Structure 1
Amino acid sequence: MDVYNVHERELPGTPHEVGALLDSLAGEQDRLWPGSGWPPMAFDRPLGEGATGGHGPVRYRVAAYVPGKWVRFTFSAPRGFDGFHEYAVLAVDGDRTLLRHTLAMRARGAARLTWPVLWGPLHDACLEDGLDLAERTCAGEVARPARHSAYVRALLRLMAPARAVG
């Protein structure tokens, strides 16, 4: 099963300003990855090509990184996630910038079931929470905050004990 998933948000700020959010990923002052309720993004070293890590059970390697502009991660787990996800910072005009996250993969084996039932809904909610954080950082508020569906809230409650242990 092929999966192509895009989340994006137009933000006030120059590409340089929005690019700083990208560069903060997995750092002490991360201003892009959502905090509460989500496993933190962490790597074995600072964000850069070759760093390995991920968030929770989703593992990946930094395949390419252009500071302030683009980062691509290739999946190593869960089993059956063959592909990548990436963030890109794209100029719209002088004071507006598009922050885009793209996931492209082929789901194999059990992932053909777990992606649409578990990982996909959680991925969508996590990315929208992260884009809310980016917008709050750039604009001071979020015009239309993401809302989790009842299904996603139930998944998060079920996963909470595992996050507390691991």
Structure 2
Amino acid sequence: MQVRNIHRRRINQPKAKVSELFRTLATSDDLIWPYENWPAIKFSEGLNVGSKGGHGSIRYTIIEFNEDQYIKFQFSKPQGFMGTHEFKIEALNENLTEIRHEINMQTSFKTSLLWIFVIRWLHDALIEDTFDKVENYFTEAKKKSTYNLWVKLLREIYKRKSLQTKTA
């Protein structure tokens, strides 16, 4: 199955300021990834082309990186995710920036089902939380995306599974 999943958010800040935040991705001072509520994003060799990492059970390698414009990843897990995802930063004018996350991939039959019923829902919530964190860095009126019932159920299942793994 061909998957194209796009999220966009306009941030009322110059591109240079938004780019500064994106340089902190996967560092000990990460200002964009919502690690407070999701598995942290980590890379073996920092934000460099060839560095391997990911978050939770999703694994990928950085294949392109321009710290002021975009970072592009090639999926390696789950098996059956064949393609890329990327974050982009684009100036719309001198005080308005669009941040964008895009997945372009082919999935095998098995991972198509996993995408449709599980990963897509969690992914969409994660990216909206990421974009909320970026937007909230620059505003006092804090934005908080709400999870639908399916996302809440999936997160509860994941949480219980993680607790069982830790106690086993």
TM-score bracket, normalised by the shorter chain, equals over 0.9
2:139 matches 1:148: no
Q: Distance in 1 between matches of 2:47 and 2:128?
A: 21
2:39 matches 1:43: no
Q: Distance in 2 between matches of 1:64 and 1:76?
A: 15
The answer to which of 153-162 and 123-132 deviates more is: 153-162
**Identity of matched residues, %:** 30
Asked if the contact 1:3–1:106 (Cα under 8 Å) also holds between the matched residues in 2, the reply is yes
Alignment of 1:46-125 (within 5 A): 46-125=46-125
Unmatched segments (≥5 aa) in structure 2: none
SS in 2 for 1:139: coil
Q: Deviations over 1:102-121 (max 9, x none)?
A: 11111113101000100000
Q: How many residues matched?
A: 165
Following TM superposition, by how much is the alpha carbon of 1:163 offset from its aligned partner in structure 2, in angstroms? Answer: 4.2
CA 1:115 to 1:138, structure 2 compared with 1: closer, same or farther past 3 Å? same
Asked if the contact 1:22–1:69 (Cα under 8 Å) also holds between the matched residues in 2, the reply is no
Q: Distance in 1 between matches of 2:47 and 2:2?
A: 28
Kindly report the root-mean-square deviation, in angstroms, between the aligned alpha carbons of the 2 structures. 1.4
Q: Distance in 2 between matches of 1:82 and 1:22?
A: 25
Following TM superposition, by how much is the alpha carbon of 1:162 offset from its aligned partner in structure 2, in angstroms? Answer: 4.1
Q: Deviations over 1:57-101 (max 9, x none)?
A: 000000000012100000000011001110000001111100101
TM-score normalized by the length of structure 2:
0.93
Which amino acid letter does the alignment assign opposite residue 145 of structure 2? A
TM-score normalized by the length of structure 1:
0.94
Q: Distance in 1 between matches of 2:94 and 2:126?
A: 29
CA 1:50 to 1:163, structure 2 compared with 1: closer, same or farther past 3 Å? farther
Following TM superposition, by how much is the alpha carbon of 1:160 offset from its aligned partner in structure 2, in angstroms? Answer: 1.0
Which amino acid letter does the alignment assign opposite residue 157 of structure 2? L
Unmatched segments (≥5 aa) in structure 1: none
